[in-house]
Amino acid sequence: MSAFIEGVGTTPAAAGITGITNTIQKITPPVRPAQEEEAPATLDQIKDSSFGGLFKELIQDVKDTDAEFTQNQYLLSTGQLDNPVQVGISAYKAEIALDLLIQLRNRALDAYNELKNMNV
């Protein structure tokens, strides 16, 4: 940060507003014509993004753990399950997966609301 910006920091009287304006113009990127950006319309297009892919993966994990829990309950009720502790473990896994999904959803909504309420 020891280098001076062109037109600023040399002599205030010589640089004036013109030097600051020229410097700001050099920093700002050129304005491009408006490009049409399409919002993802389908769930398949959403999963391509890293954020959407994360939530898609979490939802699938909740579905898988719930299916495992339901299967273990069925096996226990029909007497086909050797270790009844597996039902409790699969119930705990399903609960943790759902809690994680809910917490991440809440954090994402909080972040969105923070951005929405930010003054620009």
Domain boundaries, the chain: 1-33, 43-116
Residues 100 and 71 sit within 8 Å (Cβ to Cβ):
no
What is the C-alpha separation between 44 and 7, in angstroms, rounded?
51
Residues 23 and 7 sit within 8 Å (Cβ to Cβ):
yes
- What is the pLDDT tens value at each position of the chain, 120 positions in all? 444 444 444 444 444 444 444 544 445 445 555 554 555 556 555 556 788 888 899 999 999 999 999 999 999 999 999 999 999 999 999 999 999 999 999 999 999 999 999 887
- Tokens 């003054």: give the residue: 119
Answer whether 0.75 is exceeded by the pTM.
no
What is the C-alpha separation between 86 and 93, in angstroms, rounded?
10
Residues 68 and 86 sit within 8 Å (Cβ to Cβ):
no
- Tokens 């391509």: give the residue: 48
